[in-house]
Amino acid sequence: MTIRKKLVRNFFIQNFLGLLAALYIYITRITSSIRFANQSIPERYWKNNEPFILAFWHSQLMMIAFSWKIKTRINILASDHSDGRFGAIIGKYFNLNNIPTSNKNNNISLRPIFKLLKNKKYIGITPDGPRGPKEKVSEGIIKIAKVSKTPIIALGFASSRNFKLKSWDSFLISLPFSKCSFVWSEPLEVPADLKDDQVYSYQKLLEDKINKCVQEAEANCQ
C-alpha cells in the first residue's frame, strides 16, 4: 500500500477531510438556489409514513441530502470499503445514514435493508454503484423492491455550475452560486411474482426513469 493510500485511510485524516468536504457542500447549498419538481410524489409517502426506495445515480451523491424534506434519515446503501466509510463521515453532517452491505471480502448481506424497510424506514440506493458500470441499473434494486414489496422512486439532480471528476461515474461536483434542480419520478412498482427473465425489463424501466429525471433537472437549470 502506498503512503498516499495509507494517509487517506487514516481515521483522523479521513475525519478531517470529511469535515472539509461537508463544509464545502454546506457552502454550496447556502449560496445556491434549488428548484423542486414533482415534490408531491414523495410527500404522499412521507405524510403516510410509507417507505420507498430512493434511486439515483452514484455521480449525484454530493447534494442528495437536500432533496429530503423531512427529519427522518435517508439510509444510504454503501460498501464497507474506504470510499464507503469516507462517504459515511460526510453523510453524518447531513442526516444521511450509511448502511454497509458488503465487507472487505465483498460478501453482501441484504438483511439490514429488509429490516429497515420492514420498520418503515427509507432506503437510498445508487443502482449503478459502487463501481459501475456507469448509469446502468443492476438487478439488485429490482429484487429488493420485489421481495420487500416496496416501490422505487427515481430522483434526478442537476446544477448550472459544476465540473465532473475523472472517476468511473464522472462524479458531479456542484459549485457555489449555482441554480440546482431535483426532479422526482412516479413510483415504480415491482410485482411480487416477477419472473427472473423479467427483471431486466424493470432494470431498463428504472434507468429510463432516472435519466428522464436528470434530463428534466438539467433543463430546469438553464
Q: State pLDDT tens for residues 85-114.
A: 788 889 889 989 888 776 554 556 788 899
**pLDDT, position 164:** 96
State the pLDDT confidence band at 69, using cuts at 50, 70 and 90: confident
Identify the pLDDT of residue 89.
Answer: 86
- Supply 167's cell numbers: 472517476
The answer, as to whether pTM is greater than 0.85, is yes
Cell of 113: 435493508
pLDDT in tens, 19-42: 999 999 999 999 999 999 999 999
What is the residue range of 104's domain?
A: 3-220
Q: Give dist(CA 39, CA 185) in Å, integer.
A: 9
145 in helix, strand or coil?
Answer: helix
CATH number, position 51: 3.40.1130
Residue 11 has what pLDDT? Answer: 72
DSSP state letter for 50? -
What total number of domains does the chain contain?
A: 1
> What secondary structure letter does DSSP report for 38?
S
For residues 12 and 155, the model is more confident at 155
- Spell out the residues 6+ positions from residue 7 whose beta carbon is closer than 8 angstroms to its own: 13
Average pLDDT of the chain, as a whole number: 90
Q: How far apart are CA 158 and CA 155, in angstroms?
A: 10
